Structures are given as structure tokens and as C-alpha cells.
Chains A and B, each alone.
Chain A
Amino acid sequence: MKKINVGKKILTENEKYALENSLFFSRQKKICLNIISSPGSGKTTILERTIRELKGKIKIGVIEGDIQTDIDAQRIRATEAPVVQINTEGACHLSAAQINDALKQLPVGHLDLILIENVGNLVCPSAFELGENGKIVVLSVAEGDDKPAKYPAIFAKSKVMLINKIDLLDAGQVDFDIERARADARKLNKAIEIFPISAKRGDGMTQWYDWLVNQVEKSAE
């Protein structure tokens, strides 16, 4: 038997495109954020409201990732923001190569911010860098406050956690301890920004917008 040491990274194909995308964003002075959550946490509703309420302040383009359909792209198109839909045909995450391709179809020069809505999945997308400037994890209160403890990777890697659908807490039908979710998310990620919001009713959205605008202003410097 002969043993050889290889010491090679395995998913290099994805990394190659991620690096290319990341260089593209820094050269173009654009900010790109990768939004990750379980299915149904409200990512698209957050995008719709954010685009509408930041109209005139920052120009947003969207890359939509779904296994099937262009339902989300249609919703984004109704806000008049440029959007590209990617169908992964079964794959559980977006890859950097798909983003590379989608960027060619977006009018990037006219945008300030590119938001990627990843495939609804709290696990796999966290392992695939897309070349983005940061990850945003969305957790809706109906999913339970134990998710940061159960799915630590995505919370450890995200710049922002949006706790969505807090309007559901008013009726007392959903048990969700915001402080518990906050404390668990911060265990592995002291720097994570946490904004409890209701994208439907509008609660807490101003703090999220301020954070976004600040990111865009910093990148343009």
C-alpha cells in the first residue's frame, strides 16, 4: 500500500465561482446579501416590503432561488424591481455558478443592492458560499424559538437574524421566546444583529432598513 497526502479542498468548483462573484461585487462597489431560511418564513414578503419602502433610497435587484416555479419572481416583478428566477430542479441550495450566471441578466450597474433569496432550507444553503457580502437568516416565530440551538451553522454564519411574523405573538397562539432565540443565536455569533419584525404589518422594519442603507453607504465609500 502506498499512502499519499492530498490536502485538497473538495468543493472547489463552487469556491471558484464564489470568489469570482465576490470580486465582481467589490469592483462594482455593490452589496450582495444571501437570504436563507426554512420554507414559509416570509422571505419573499420581507423582500416585497423592503423594495417598496426603500424605493427612491436604494435600488434593489433580486435573484430568486426555488426548486420549481416563478411564483416568487412574479411577486418581485410586481414591485418593479429587476428580478432573475433560478429553478434548481430539485437541488436544495443555490450554487455560486448559478449566481454568476444570474448576475449577467441583472442590470447591476443601475443597482445598489442585490438580494438573493435562497431555496427554502435551513441546512444546505449555509454550506455554499455564493460570494455574497453577508448572510441574512430569517426565522419566523411559528417555527419555534429552539431553531438557533438546533441549526447552529446558519446562525453562526449570518450577519443578521430577522425574527419574522412577530404579529402572530399578539394573539397568544404562538409560543416563541424572542430572548431565548436571541441568546442561542448569540452563543456562537456575538456580532449577529437581531431585528424582530413583521413584514406583513411593518413592525421593526425601520431598524432593518437602517442597517441595509448603512451597508450600501459603506460599500459606496
Chain B
Amino acid sequence: MNREAILDVRDLETAFNVKRSGRKCRVQAVDGVSLSLAESEVLGIVGESGCGKTTVGRSIVRLVQPDSGTINFKGTDVLAARGSTLRQLRLSIRMVFQDPYASLSPRRSIGDSVAEAGDINRVFKGRSDRMAQIASTLTSVGLDPSFGERYPHELSGGQRQRAGIARAILPTPDVIIADEPVSALDVSVQAQVLNLMMDLREQLKLSMLFISHDLGVIGQISDRVAVMYMGRIVELADTQTILDRPLHPYTQALMLAVPRPDPTKRIAGAIETGEPPSQFNRSIGCAYAARCSMANSRCRAEIPRLRPFGQNNRMIACHNV
């Protein structure tokens, strides 16, 4: 990617304290993730539950505090930001969440929720300006301005997610971190919301970190894709490159397992994809070795580093490629 990176994440590590069977444990949710996001680029992060993709997104907006690493946004050190710098950052980098019912306050009107970030940062010039900006933002996400007066329970799932998106683009941010924004929606509504996000991205020149477990959705909206497994990026490349020729054994398994809407291409018999890994008994070597058909003794002893491979911005972390 030749465009300049506006968001740069280096060696991010985030761990959580949890209790397991009464004993305190530490779960390494993100284990050394580096990625960068260029201006008006969409980077997809795909992976299964527990792989750390959500924690990466939350670390960037400081909803969780990483243990180490650096996050740089347009020259500002995100992890060191305090007070007004942090507030300014949170206006520039916004989040869209999966469940729009949980992320909208049930007791505030849609208009108040949409204007919340603007209210806190005093960006409106008086009441009429506030009203006008709410109305135009709602219109731009495909909702009638009258929705500003309504409450979340009066909206359908798709409308709520549109409101959730409206909330993230007033005032217009530089980066949106979208965490499974269409996973809770029915397919017909999902397509509408995905189209909306692609339109907004172009109109507002947004950069986006798009987090999803669904390779189909990721493939649709992203320029580049990072595949995560157990807290690490195992493969990263231009979207078409990943989809056409996945090289990491895990990426291959993931793509093979996606049920294709084509009954003439059924997966014959049961495929062996193994059990998902546990955060509580991590292996010494490659985290995927236990499920990998290509694993050898080196895989079980040494963690493969993410390294550049071939063309199309591909990076891969596998000893056998």
C-alpha cells in the first residue's frame, strides 16, 4: 500500500485477568499484532470467536488498555493520550458495534444518541444547527429525519444499525472501527447495510477497520484482509489475493469451511477441522499446529513470525510456506 498510513499499530499485546476454577489466570487475547491503515482504505480482520479481533479494535479506541505496543494515529500516540487529546482522538476514531440494540441507550431518542459525540465536544452552533445536522446525518444513512424523535425499541434491526452508523459519523470521523456490524442482521438487510457502509466510505473518504467472522462479508467490503488466529495475524494480503490463493493452512481451512450457496459444490463427507484452541493451554510453537495437517516438529517448537511473502502485500506466518 503506497498511500500514507493514518493509523499504525505495532506489536500490540493485550491480556485480561480471568478467574478459572477459582484460580487467577491471564489470557493473552492479542499477542503481538502489527497493522496499518491507509487513508480511505478498508482493512478487514477475519477470524473465529476468541481470536482477539474484537480486542484489537477496542484497544485502538482505548476501550481496553493494552499491555504493550504502540498505536499511532496521524502522529499522535494513542496509548499516551489523556484529557482533551483523548477526546479529540475519540472523535476521529469511532466505533460501530454488532448489536445496535445494546449500543443505543433505550432511554434516549435516536436523535440524542446520534448527537451525543457532538454534544460532548460542543461542535453544534446552537439548537437549530444541532437539529439540522441530526437530520442530515439520518438522511445520509437512509433514515427519515423523523426517526430522530423515536426510541430504539420502535426500530427494526436494520434501522437500529443504520442509527448506530449515524452515531459514528457525526461529526465526520477519519477512521471507523466496525465490529461485526452486520452479523446480527438478516441477509436481505445485511446487504442493504453493507451497501450503505460502502457508500459512506466513498462519500466521506473514511478509513475502516472492518472486523467480522464472515469471509463473505469481509471479501465484499475490504481492500486488504488480515486473518487472525489465537491473538496473532497469520496471513495478511490484498483481498483478491487471499480469496484467490490463500496460503496459510488456517486461511485455507477457513475458506473451505464457509458453506457455499451452491448445492453442486457440496463438501463431500466430513472434513477434519479439529477442535478450536483454548487460551488456557497455549502451545509453545505455532498455535495452529494442533489442527494443522502440515505441522512438523519445528511448528510445535517455534512460533512462526509474520514475514513478507511474494507480491500483493502478502505477509504470512507459517514455517511451511
Partners in one complex: no
